[in-house]
Chain A
Amino acid sequence: MKHLVRPDVSQRVIKVLLILLTALTLSILIFIITYLLLKGLPVFSPGFFTGHAIDMGRAGGILPFILSTVFLSVVALAIATPLGVGTAIYLTEYTRESRLTRVIRFAAECLAGVPSIILGLFGFVTFVLYLKLGWSVLSGGLTLAIMVLPTIIRTSEEAILAVPHAQREVSFSLGGTRWQTVIRVVLPGALPGIVTGVMLSLGRCIGETAAVIFTAGSSLMTPASLLDSGRTLAVHFYILAREGISAEMAYGTAAVLMISILAINVAAYGLMHRIVRRFS
């Protein structure tokens, strides 16, 4: 067979091409981060982090939005974690692979594919209007909980399955019931993986806009209760940018968002690394 180009040359060309593609991918991330930091860092000041918004956010700080983001995420994870981990325990420890478990898994996958704006609409109709929770931290938290539930189920399931079967057998052989075994052996072993899933979900909660704006509203005040409206950082950024209120403040907010999400991802990655090492 005759080659158009000498094989060693074509190999080298392809290698260079792949390196370029990888570099391009990385440079996109680096560009976004650098750009946001360059534009956003100048507005960073103590007052930016501790002050309230003045004049719709043209001046002042973003403290209420930081707090709203934290409240909303905490509510979402406090609801989604027990539900998701419980589902994962049921699927892995209390049933065998069957049509039912496949249906449950498929349903979770479908839920993961629902666009967040649709979830926002669902949250608005169900929690805000029907359950009369209004635009509130609770409505937003419930909606976000639905959004991250599939992630938590899947990561928890994987973490639970990674705990060696022999450890369960030992627990059973020492007179452990299934529940005792789950609590004392399976969950501690799976904890790093579960925490990783929760952290990734936290990142999504922080970055979400569409599902939140419909359900938690956009109040400029710090929510004082679960039934108060609140504005998350992502929503604040959206409003600042969309309504042309202040580009500088928008960049500042975006930089805070970006840094938080990066920090969370790094922490989640570190945990994931630890669990991989533990079981290999």
Chain B
Amino acid sequence: MTRAPVPGSVPGSVPGPAGVGTSPKMRVEGFSFFYPGGQAALRGVSLDIPSNRILGLIGPSASGKSTLLRSLNRMSDFLHGTRREGRILLDGADIHAPGVDPTDIRRRVGMVFDTPVPLSRSIFENIAYGQRLKGERDRDRLAAIVESALKAAILWEEVKDRLEASALRLSGGQQQRLCIARTIALDPEVILLDEPCSGLDPISTLKIEEALAELKERFTIVLVTNNTKQAARVSDEVAFFLMGELVEHGEARQIFTVPRDRRTDDYISGRFG
């Protein structure tokens, strides 16, 4: 292990980048996650997720990065027979505390999945879905929300004339931006993206990366990606996971130029994974 202890950090945590504000948007404290049978998907992960930046989670498959992502908005509640230890804080409050409504957490911490899944309804109704669940009925307000969400996801120009068309008719890349717009329309504080560009062509990928660069002005973004180059292009910070452990977390530039841990170096230079 080549970690240098940093004064004042949480015991056992991997040192985060210096110079970032003292109150992170989310904080993961000694978090472990066990699948049925006791197999650990995550072991003692501690990680600060800074406001208004893009945190890239990288690592080979089964490294636990997606499990962490799903724990951040309690989608992991649906994985039956699993068990967790440690805490995850959102603005300093434990998201697993008794009395916390998981649907409330999911509205504040939105999620985009690896394959675009449009609901079988119109483009407009896809974007408006989350707001409708909240009880919003005002057509004008919904229209304004839909427009601004589509603009933020850089999809507005392509679909503004066919909002009532089925979302299933969009191309794969458009569908994924639709899914991003659908999450934005919830007006969340954090947006989690689970390999949003897997299976997309380079141009679609580029559009999504452009959208992300603008979105971080408004949201805190956590991006899981299997594409190390993508992580290097869009992330401000990067956390590298291996076999359920957080190996290294730092500024993207530092991770990709002078990683502190040899395993990080091996992974980003393509020696495994």
Residues of chain A having any CB pair with chain B under 8 Å: 96, 164, 166-167, 169-177, 180, 184-185, 188-189
Q: Are B75 and A174 in contact (CB-based, < 8 A)?
A: no
Residue of A nearest to B188 (CB): A175
Given contacts A175-B186, A176-B133, contact A164 B117 (CB under 8 A): yes
Report how far A171 CA is from B126 CA in the complex, Å.
10
Given contacts A174-B183, A175-B106, contact A180 B117 (CB under 8 A): no
Report how far A180 CA is from B130 CA in the complex, Å.
11
Known: A167-B117, A171-B133, A174-B107; 8 extra A-B contacts, CB below 8 A, are A166-B117, A171-B119, A173-B75, A173-B113, A174-B130, A177-B103, A185-B119, A189-B120
Query: Interface size for chain B: under 10, 10 to 19, 20 to 34, or 35 or more residues?
Result: 20 to 34
B129 at the interface (CB under 8 A from A): yes
Report how far A169 CA is from B76 CA in the complex, Å.
11
Q: From A169, A172, A175, give the contact of B104 (CB < 8 A).
A: A175
Q: Are B133 and A170 in contact (CB-based, < 8 A)?
A: no
B272 at the interface (CB under 8 A from A): no
Residues of chain B having any CB pair with chain A under 8 Å: 73, 75, 78, 80, 103-104, 106-107, 110-111, 113, 115, 117, 119-120, 129-130, 133-134, 179, 182-183, 186
Report how far A164 CA is from B110 CA in the complex, Å.
20
Report how far A170 CA is from B106 CA in the complex, Å.
11
Report how far A55 CA is from B51 CA in the complex, Å.
87
**Minimum CB–CB distance for B157 against chain A, Å:** 24
**Minimum CB–CB distance for B185 against chain A, Å:** 9
Q: Which residues of A contact B103 (CB under 8 A)?
A: 172, 175-177
Main secondary structure of the interface of A (DSSP, over half): helix
Q: Which residues of A contact B134 (CB under 8 A)?
A: 175
Q: Are A172 and B119 in contact (CB-based, < 8 A)?
A: no
Report how far A175 CA is from B101 CA in the complex, Å.
10
Q: From B75, B107, B111, B119, give the contact of A167 (CB < 8 A).
A: B119
Q: Which residues of A contact B186 (CB under 8 A)?
A: 174-175
Q: Are B113 and A169 in contact (CB-based, < 8 A)?
A: yes
Q: From A96, A170, A188, give the contact of B117 (CB < 8 A).
A: A170
Q: Which residues of A contact B75 (CB under 8 A)?
A: 169, 172-173
User: What are the nearest 5 A-B pairs in CB distance?
Assistant: A174-B130, A175-B107, A173-B111, A166-B117, A175-B103
